[in-house]
Structure 1
Amino acid sequence: MELPGYEIQGVLGQGGFATVYRARQLAVGREVALKVDGRLLATPRDRQRFLREVTAAGQLSGHPHVVPVYDAGVLPDNRPYMVLELCPGGSLGERLVRQGPLPPKEARDIGVGLADAVAAAHASGVLHRDIKPGNIMVNRYGGIALTDFGLAAMPRPGQELSVTREALTPAYAPPEAFRGADPTPAGDVYSLAATVYALLSGRPPHHPDDGTHLSIAELIVRHTWPYPALPGVPAALNETLRQAMAPEPAERLSDAGAFRDALAAVDLADPGGFGPAPGMNTLATVPAYRDAAPLTVPPAPVIAPAPPDRPGGGATTAPVAPGGGRAGRSRSLLIGALAVVTVSVSVTVTVLTYGNGRQPDGGRDTDARSGASSSASATPSAGPGFGVATTTEDCAATAVDGLGGRCTATPECWSGITDISGIITVSRADCQAEHVWETFAIAPLPKDGQTNNARDLVKHPDVKTLCSQTVMADSLSADGRTLARTWDVDVIPPTASEWDKGLRVYRCVAAAETDNGRKTGSQFAVPS
């Protein structure tokens, strides 16, 4: 094994999909863990998606309870790799084997810190999908951190897998995973609660006390059993775990943030009560992270009924995004692990990437979005009702009759889009620096489509017409036509702050399919 810039010192661990090497990063003289996946990224799109998604996961590296990702890439033989912080303390899975269950306070406090990390990941559009004691590492300072993020943007309806789904760890997988359901934040909540349960009991939920190994069939049946309350654990803590491990996702605690808060409220001095949140000093040498964007969002306005004089008005009901229909194909789930507690260093690198659902006519399915975190608000300018200066000169959007489409007077670029239940947050970017999306049209919301929920808005026929591949292609500059052969199209509805200010406009944006998913400069510049 060779990688420029690194001195390989030996093998730390090896599993079915990946090998982890101990290495020295020569440029900064530090020891790291180099994780190389044995599977191949066979196509340029797979490689591009992997690099885009590992960037999203890398944004979590500042969280004290996430193992930092220092670097990532693809080897000449198309195997993806990641460079991670070296955690010499091993995993909590190994500690469970050596020392047995943890005290309730330590297990609870670890759960609070990890739930905060998972909440931050979900807010950035990243799922983990394999939370278990073997993926909770102890760094050189004694801090607890979650590793082995799946490095994939939040799954969106209608997108197909272009790389195999990860091998699950059935002992901690949510029940819906065995039914072939797509990964969701609720699945991470279940696995996180099952992990806290294992820290308290020394074994996964539903497993026999004597450590007997269960077959997959037995485990699937046991997943439907009622929550097995732990003796000697405060009733409030058992109740919190029970709610987070409900067999049906809709019945679980709503998100990782809610699980974190429920755990923190448990009063361990009272066998059945709730109390103040714990301190986090036992988990790491830095304060607990509390800056993650909340997962709970205000309800979006409901699309109003169509006026009587509009033939066939109202939003269409088919889940179709701008410029194309949805291609529904059945999905398969690969379960390739034994239902046992993982006790060795975790070595599974999971890569889950998505095609953009492009149809033969050049259309695109809903919600193929890159992760981002901060919201942007428009700056009031010369464009009445738009919040920014607009123009109709050389603007392809203006040529679409009856929709009020215009172009922004100056280029408008974005580094990413986060979609949580249809509520969008976006981060503005300097068009001369690297960015992902660029606005090519702006228009008032349809009269019968007054909503800031992206998943409702993209169904509206007017929005699909304006934010289409056709209008986008007509808007491209000469440089844009040579930059990339294919472009993705998406929609940005009013942000919450814009909605509060009374701005009722949406944007049509496009992203070039480049080698790294990013570009510089403007490809939709409009002459002033």
Structure 2
Amino acid sequence: MTVDGRVVAGRYRLGRRIGSGAMGVVWQAHDELLYRTVAVKQLLLQPGQSEADAEEARRRAMREGRIAARLQHPNAVAVFDVVDEGDGMPWLVMEYVPSRSLSQLLEEQGTLAPQEAARIGMHVANALAAAHAAGIVHRDVKPGNVLLGDDGTVKITDFGISRAQGDSTVTATGMLAGTPAYLAPEIAKGHDPTPSSDVFSLGATIYAAVEGIPPFGLSDNPLALLHKVASGQIDPPRQAGPLTQPLLSLLSAEPTERVTMVRCRDALGAVAAGQPAPPMPVPQQAHMPTVATAAQRPMPMATRLDQRPPVGGAPRATSTTAMPPVRPKGPQQSGGMKRGPLIGIVTAVVIAVIVGVIVVINHGGNNNAGGSDGTGGSTGGGGSTTSASTTPAATVINRQPLSGDGDPGPDVQMKTVTDFFAQLPSNAQNAATAYLLPGFQGGADAFLAEMSKAKTVTLSDVQPGNYYIRATEHIVTKDGVKSVQQIGVGLKWENTQLYIQKIDKIGAAKPES
């Protein structure tokens, strides 16, 4: 279809076609009222579509506009307008980003270095954390929906199948929303999406960026791929380097074992800055295959993206942020282990044994009940992981005074709550010191006692309020008991800081499968 030169809503003159998706075609256009370039998404109905299906498609387009317009974030493509041309077909007017998708970049370059993949993932996580705080789940995070601007910016786009809290679901019965290769296991099993599902999909996107292939591989048979996704058994990363531990945490088969998007953003930011990622929970071995050690791991093979025909020629160099060197795409050399590397491995093993003996001596007769300091525990030769070994190390929290005139708004209030819960349960002591009001209702000691029994604590469906934030709390105890609880978090503005005054349990906790 050619509509070049058509004027939509009396002001948006369509130019060249710049993309297409499940719901329609995207055109570059000129806003003749504000004299700026925009992107206009044209809804296309399929030939022979029933009136009921056509009406659903229209509702989905309007819903995409409403949801996306609620999210104003520098790392999310902004929606400016939704117009109706009188034929019942909505047009979505969006921010125009001179860019290419991460998918296009990977087709051209094969894989990215871990630090660059972390930089891209950090910006996407930043936008998704804001979306989750607003009650929005994206549901289709994938390389094709990550835009890399010519100026180095990163933006997530296409909230067309996202679901907002309080908005009715308009996806047809039996329709699977999302791209199978990047779906979370619980979605492949038919469960409702949650913010944790976006965490998994972002992890899968970053995995594909460094490994050259999604964590569940590729298949021309979508049903076979969905079956593998539902199993939750990923192919362990081999080229992720400093991203290995964060990826394993993000790609846990159990939603309650994944970190929040806030912690995901912080971990990716550390790797992007060339720093070690903060310790993150390691998935239970029952749900995650053991990652091969350096001695066991085979040499990296050429990525499957190498099998694709070249796309677009040489990479563009228009971004002000230089891309790091890309991994070579040729075959790897193989052969026996040289003497130098062998000596290095033996030396590392000897050092590890010595350190282990010192740790045992220092901790002998000084066992702390509960093990809440997160310093002990190790993985034995059999590969079983103890709960202590999965506990992130505690870190001191230095909160900066809040700036600006007047009391903090709803966004700052929700961020305070999500940042606090992102520290739980491993860093509960420092989080209580930094965030809880001295007169915290119920007492800080009781709160810390509850956290000492928890293995993971996550939030979903965070809803804004006037110094009272409602959310759904998911807790997995160290005994493996899972529960879900509606909570209300009361806040108080004091001097230049926002503190948590109380945490109400609304109704009774329910078991969570």
Of 31, 36, 43 in structure 2, the residue corresponding to residue 25 of structure 1 is 31
The one-letter code matched in structure 2 to 1:496 is: L
CA 1:456–1:147: 2 relative to 1, 3 Å: closer
Aligned to 1:90: 100
Aligned to 2:255: 249
Aligned to 1:126: 136
Aligned to 1:228: 235
Deviations, residues 349-398 of structure 1 (Å, cap 9, x unaligned): xxxxxxxxxxxxxxxxxxxx9x975x4259xxxxxxxxxxxxxxxxxxxx
Cα RMSD for the two superposed structures:
4.4
Aligned to 1:356: none
What secondary structure sits across from 1:31 in the alignment?
A: strand
Are 2:477 and 1:376 aligned?
Answer: no
Are 2:448 and 1:295 aligned?
Answer: no
Deviation at 1:77, TM superposition (A): 3.1
Deviation at 1:195, TM superposition (A): 0.4
Deviation at 1:78, TM superposition (A): 2.9
Deviations, residues 177-223 of structure 1 (Å, cap 9, x unaligned): 12221121011001001001111122211216xxx644422442255
Aligned to 1:198: 208
Of 75, 82, 87 in structure 2, the residue corresponding to residue 72 of structure 1 is 82
- Check conservation: 1:105, 1:268, Cα contact below 8 A: yes
Aligned to 1:217: 224
Instruction: Tell me the TM-score normalised to structure 2 length.
Output: 0.52
Aligned residues: 314
- Check conservation: 1:201, 1:230, Cα contact below 8 A: yes
Deviations, residues 130-156 of structure 1 (Å, cap 9, x unaligned): 111111112342311111124755346
Deviation at 1:269, TM superposition (A): 5.8
The one-letter code matched in structure 2 to 1:54 is: G
CA 1:282–1:123: 2 relative to 1, 3 Å: farther
Of 130, 133, 149 in structure 2, the residue corresponding to residue 139 of structure 1 is 149
The one-letter code matched in structure 1 to 2:189 is: R
Percent identity (aligned): 30
- C-alpha separation in 1, matches of 2:202 and 2:274: 23
CA 1:244–1:70: 2 relative to 1, 3 Å: same
- Check conservation: 1:175, 1:220, Cα contact below 8 A: no
- C-alpha separation in 2, matches of 1:220 and 1:108: 29
Deviations, residues 45-81 of structure 1 (Å, cap 9, x unaligned): 99789757734532433x2211221212444333333
Structure (1/2) with the larger helix percentage: 2
Are 2:491 and 1:496 aligned?
Answer: yes
CA 1:217–1:500: 2 relative to 1, 3 Å: closer
- C-alpha separation in 2, matches of 1:108 and 1:267: 5
The one-letter code matched in structure 1 to 2:491 is: A
The structure whose RCO (Cα within 8 Å, separation 6+) is larger is 1
The one-letter code matched in structure 1 to 2:19 is: G
Aligned to 2:169: 161
- C-alpha separation in 2, matches of 1:102 and 1:503: 43
- C-alpha separation in 2, matches of 1:33 and 1:257: 30
- C-alpha separation in 1, matches of 2:492 and 2:195: 25
Instruction: Tell me the TM-score normalised to structure 1 length.
Output: 0.50
- Check conservation: 2:43, 2:89, Cα contact below 8 A: yes
- C-alpha separation in 1, matches of 2:161 and 2:87: 20
- C-alpha separation in 2, matches of 1:128 and 1:79: 23
Q: How does 1:452-467 map to 2 (within 5 A)?
A: none
Deviation at 1:44, TM superposition (A): 10
- C-alpha separation in 1, matches of 2:113 and 2:256: 31
CA 1:152–1:206: 2 relative to 1, 3 Å: closer
Q: Which segments of structure 1 move beyond 4 Å, counting only runs of 4 or more? A: 39-53, 267-270, 281-284, 296-302, 454-457, 498-504
Deviation at 1:266, TM superposition (A): 3.8
CA 1:188–1:274: 2 relative to 1, 3 Å: closer
- C-alpha separation in 1, matches of 2:61 and 2:473: 24
